């Protein structure tokens, strides 16, 4: 359900509860937050973290303020965090959780982009703020995810997952930022610090300690409407996700004297942006097949301006939603951006209900079938050989660890396959035959096309392990491909003729991998397509130093952040170049676990201790195993 629909139903429920005087158990008006997950330690908050009452009517704000002054600030759209400092050092970070119990994420908070780990104030300090990911960073991270189905829907979801990672390195890579919005407690020698009964003075104190404080404006009943209008103008270019504003009394004691309801404190109120709706005309429905066979309806309508951008398409998600909207060609519809990002249809004003569901797949022409999962109906292609189902294999083929072809995201591959540009791997190396059509496609142009062709040409020279890995042979990862290539001294002919028994005898390969490798090259169609691909490529032989193969037969596991290598992949490549193997989990075959945080309580550390596997720092590993000076 979209925020637009949820807010409308929530408002309706509030009205019904006011009229009837009845609130049922489990009502969302008295239930807040979500359950904390099991993987992170849980901790109860010293005082409950309540939601705010809300309004979408700006005229209510002067009345709410009365003769008091208040602070109007952004209502940031991320994950609320509580920070505790003791003796000037960050001691603890806990998520909001369900409002009463949160998750301890201290290690992750330490790698946020802008949280001070040490502050001048040496007393006990507790504050609250919002962890967020900017729109710019959200786009960068999503663009690195080739699988379009795996991409994050909005910055809030990405931020929530990033903050609650078990591995703080992942959090560090996500550029999470923290903006303080409330000082809960500041004490020295057991006495509360005097801030002159002013929220603004609390904000000024936090700013002096090095915190980024949420942007705010001091207002009264005569200026608050104008201030809201100013924020409304700025939201179009504001880089931090926001779903509204917060108005709080500057007078701390007055606010506290008002008390609270079962769910809301009475010293603050949230002003929620009304969704920007635009009316337009539905021009048609595009049917977009996916690798699972699911065929998604995409609404195409006359372009409209929404939240500062032009939109002309919106996913309808499935047949049930399309039928519920009673869509028809030429219908007048209203559209909006969910979370100010994702175009959605809000309402159909005409209800023609004349869309015909295709009986044949738009890619392969195979029969389609309506299938119901629960109460949701979706359309599927029944042809097992449909090109659309091959998208995943092509996405894997062009991936960074495989052929490393930039510019061919899953969405782009889907378009190229739908237009018949690509049927097998070799076709990717002949995209210039479709130059005019590609340049004319939405999202492309001369520059994008030229960059794509340059990347394709660069991929013509490839290392053999990456080529083998790119084929997507079941159970064959890049590390296994390297082991096989080295065993056969990069003799591709010998590798293709190898049987499962022979392959299984290679240290680190085993029967399952050996059988998968043999089975792949036993299929004539696979061999034919591979031979066609080879005609397009030049294989680079990896230079190996026999005397430098000091790690042959040794398996290592790497976890956590590194100081001497740019990434874990860089260290992994070095280990493999010396004949070693890097696994993803600790086992009895692991020589050692490389982790700079030896004392952490991570699952890998626990497993290593259970199995008596040594845990060594990066520097210890370099000195003892690589014989390198750290």
> Would you say residue 261 lies in a domain?
yes
Confidence of residue 297 (pLDDT cuts 50, 70, 90): very high
Rounded-to-10 torsion of CA 262, 265, 271, 275: -30
Report the length, in residues, of the chain. 630
Determine the average pLDDT of the residues in 579-607: 84
Among residues 491, 514, 540, the one where a domain terminates is 540
Same domain, 551 and 535: no
> Would you say residue 152 lies in a domain?
yes
Burial class (CB in 10 A: 0-12, 13-18, 19+), 112: buried
CB 594 within 8 A of CB 556: yes
Determine the average pLDDT of the residues in 447-451: 90
Residue 350 pLDDT more than 50?
A: yes
Determine the average pLDDT of the residues in 340-355: 85
> Would you say residue 192 lies in a domain?
yes
Q: What is the pLDDT of residue 527?
A: 93
Same domain, 620 and 561: yes
| CA angle centred on 545, ends 542 and 548, rounded to 5° | 130
Give the span between the Cα atoms of 455 and 408, in whole angstroms.
Answer: 10
DSSP letter string, 361-411: -TTT-PBEEEEEETTEEEEEE--TT-GGGGHHHHHHHTSTTTT--TT--HH
User: Which of 75, 389, 392, 482 is labelled catalytic?
Assistant: 75
Residue 32 pLDDT more than 50?
A: no
Query: CA 57 → CA 60, 270, 337, 363, distances in Å?
Result: 6, 10, 20, 48
> Would you say residue 362 lies in a domain?
yes
Q: Which domain holds residue 474?
A: 462-540
Same domain, 68 and 134: yes
pLDDT, tens only, 409-429: 888 888 888 788 988 899 999
pLDDT, tens only, 125-165: 999 999 999 988 888 887 776 555 556 767 888 888 888 88
Same domain, 345 and 361: yes
Give the span between the Cα atoms of 434 and 454, in whole angstroms.
Answer: 15
Same domain, 199 and 211: yes
Element (H, E) at 17: helix 3-20
Determine the average pLDDT of the residues in 69-81: 94
Same domain, 558 and 593: yes
Same domain, 138 and 95: yes
Report the CATH number at residue 320.
2.40.50.140
Residue 514 pLDDT more than 80?
A: yes
> Would you say residue 629 lies in a domain?
no
pLDDT, tens only, 476-502: 888 788 889 888 888 999 999 999 888
**Which one-letter DSSP state was computed for residue 579?**
T
- Highest mean pLDDT range out of 219-223, 389-393, 549-553? 219-223
Name the domain count of the chain: 6
Q: What is the pLDDT of residue 579?
A: 80
Rounded-to-10 torsion of CA 323, 325, 327, 333: -170
> Would you say residue 583 lies in a domain?
yes
Q: What is the pLDDT of residue 245?
A: 93
pLDDT, tens only, 579-589: 888 887 788 88
Q: What is the pLDDT of residue 262?
A: 65
Q: What is the pLDDT of residue 31?
A: 47
Among residues 459, 474, 502, the one where a domain terminates is 459
H-assigned helices in 213-343 = 224-234, 252-257, 319-325
Give the span between the Cα atoms of 478 and 472, in whole angstroms.
Answer: 10
* Residue 75 is among the residues annotated as catalytic for this protein: yes
DSSP letter string, 158-222: HHHHHHT-SSHHHHHHTT-EEEEEEEEEEEETTEEPP-TTBHHHHHHHHHHTT--BPPEEEE-TT
Distance of CA 95 to the CA centre of its chain: 18
pLDDT over 90, % of the chain: 38
Instruction: Classify strands 342-348 and 376-381 as parallel, antiparallel or unpaired.
Output: unpaired
Determine the average pLDDT of the residues in 257-262: 80
Determine the average pLDDT of the residues in 545-550: 66
Residue 34 pLDDT more than 50?
A: no
Q: What is the pLDDT of residue 65?
A: 94
Give the span between the Cα atoms of 94 and 49, in whole angstroms.
Answer: 12
Same domain, 367 and 266: no
CB 608 within 8 A of CB 593: yes
Among residues 215, 250, 272, the one where a domain terminates is 272
Q: What is the pLDDT of residue 546?
A: 56
Give the span between the Cα atoms of 582 and 562, in whole angstroms.
Answer: 15
**Which one-letter DSSP state was computed for residue 275?**
P
Report the CATH number at residue 560.
3.40.50.10190
Give the residue from 291, 280, 278, 345 showing the smallest Cα distance to 315.
Answer: 345
Residue 211 pLDDT more than 80?
A: yes
Print the SS3 string covering 323-335: HHHCCCCCCEEEE
Mean pLDDT rounded to a whole number for the chain: 85
> Would you say residue 182 lies in a domain?
yes
Same domain, 330 and 283: yes
Same domain, 150 and 123: yes
Q: What is the pLDDT of residue 233?
A: 84
Report the CATH number at residue 173.
3.30.470.30
Burial class (CB in 10 A: 0-12, 13-18, 19+), 319: buried
Give the span between the Cα atoms of 475 and 499, in whole angstroms.
Answer: 16
> Would you say residue 630 lies in a domain?
no
- 223-227, 292-296, 380-384: least confidently modelled range: 292-296
Confidence of residue 624 (pLDDT cuts 50, 70, 90): confident
Same domain, 169 and 197: yes
Same domain, 151 and 260: yes
Residue 171 pLDDT more than 50?
A: yes
Residue 236 pLDDT more than 80?
A: no
Residue 401 pLDDT more than 90?
A: no
- Highest mean pLDDT range out of 71-85, 166-180, 590-604, 610-624? 71-85
Report the CATH number at residue 492.
1.10.150.20
Q: What is the pLDDT of residue 160?
A: 85
Residue 285 pLDDT more than 70?
A: yes
Q: Would you call 309 helix, strand, or coil by DSSP?
A: strand
Give the span between the Cα atoms of 352 and 19, in whole angstroms.
Answer: 36
Print the SS3 string covering 457-524: HHCCEEEHHHHHHHCCCCCCCHHHHHHHHHHCCCCHHHHHHCCHHHHHCCCCCHHHHHHHHHHHHCCH
Confidence of residue 505 (pLDDT cuts 50, 70, 90): confident
Q: What is the pLDDT of residue 423?
A: 85
């Amino acid at each position: 359900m979209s925020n637009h629909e949820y807010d409308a139903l929530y408002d309706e429920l509030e009205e019904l509860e006011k009229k009837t005087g009845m609130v049922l158990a489990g009502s969302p008006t008295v239930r807040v937050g979500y359950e904390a997950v099991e993987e992170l330690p849980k901790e109860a908050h010293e005082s409950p973290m309540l939601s705010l009452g809300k309004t979408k009517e700006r005229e209510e704000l002067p009345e709410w303020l009365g003769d008091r002054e208040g602070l109007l600030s952004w209502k940031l759209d991320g994950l609320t965090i509580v920070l505790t400092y003791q003796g000037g050092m960050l001691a603890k970070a806990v998520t909001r959780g369900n409002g009463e119990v949160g998750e301890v994420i201290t290690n992750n908070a330490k790698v946020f982009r802008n949280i001070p780990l040490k502050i001048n104030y040496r007393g006990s300090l507790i504050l609250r703020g919002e962890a967020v990911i900017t729109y710019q960073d959200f786009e960068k991270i999503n663009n690195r995810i080739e699988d379009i189905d795996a991409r994050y829907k909005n910055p809030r979801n990405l931020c929530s997952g990033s903050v609650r990672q078990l591995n703080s390195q992942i959090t560090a890579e996500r550029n999470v930022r923290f903006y303080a919005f409330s000082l809960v407690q500041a004490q020295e020698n057991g006495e509360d610090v005097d801030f002159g009964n002013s929220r603004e003075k609390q904000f000024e104190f936090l700013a002096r300690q090095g915190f980024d404080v949420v942007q705010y404006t001091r207002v009264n009943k005569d200026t608050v409407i104008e201030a809201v209008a100013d924020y409304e103008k700025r939201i179009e270019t504001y880089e931090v996700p926001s779903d509204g504003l917060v108005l709080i009394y500057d007078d701390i004691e007055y606010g506290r004297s008002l008390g609270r309801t079962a769910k809301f404190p009475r010293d603050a109120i949230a002003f929620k942006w009304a969704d920007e709706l635009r009316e337009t005309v539905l021009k048609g429905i595009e049917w977009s097949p996916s690798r699972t066979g699911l065929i998604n309806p995409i609404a195409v309508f006359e372009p409209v301006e929404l939240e500062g951008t032009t939109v002309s398409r919106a996913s309808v998600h499935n047949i049930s939603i399309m039928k519920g909207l009673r869509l028809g060609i030429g219908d007048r519809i209203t559209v909006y951006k969910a979370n100010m990002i994702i175009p959605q249809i809000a309402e159909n004003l005409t209800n023609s209900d004349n869309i015909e569901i295709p009986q044949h797949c738009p890619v392969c022409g195979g029969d389609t079938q309506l299938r119901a999962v629960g109460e949701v109906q979706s359309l599927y292609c029944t042809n097992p050989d449909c090109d659309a189902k091959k998208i995943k294999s092509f996405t894997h083929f062009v991936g960074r660890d495989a052929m490393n072809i930039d510019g061919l995201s899953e969405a782009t591959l889907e378009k190229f396959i739908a237009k018949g540009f690509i049927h097998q791997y070799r076709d990717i190396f002949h995209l210039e035959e479709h130059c005019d059509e590609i340049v004319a496609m939405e999202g492309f142009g001369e520059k994008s096309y030229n960059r794509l062709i340059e990347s394709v040409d660069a991929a013509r020279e490839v290392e053999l392990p990456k080529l083998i890995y790119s084929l997507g042979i079941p159970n064959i990862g890049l590390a296994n491909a390297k082991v096989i290539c080295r065993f056969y001294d990069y003799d591709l002919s010998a590798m293709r003729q190898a049987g499962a028994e022979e392959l299984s005898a290679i240290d680190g390969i085993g029967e399952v991998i050996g059988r998968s490798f043999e089975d792949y090259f036993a299929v004539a169609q696979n061999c034919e397509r591979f031979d066609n691909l080879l005609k397009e490529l030049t294989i680079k032989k990896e230079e190996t130093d026999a005397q430098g193969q000091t790690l042959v037969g040794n398996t290592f596991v790497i976890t956590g952040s590194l100081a001497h290598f740019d990434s874990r992949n860089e260290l992994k490549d070095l280990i493999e170049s010396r004949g070693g193997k890097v696994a993803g989990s600790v086992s009895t075959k692991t020589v050692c676990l490389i982790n700079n945080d030896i004392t952490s309580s991570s699952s890998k550390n626990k497993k290593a201790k259970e199995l008596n596997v040594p845990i060594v720092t990066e520097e210890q590993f370099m000195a003892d195993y690589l014989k390198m000076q750290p």
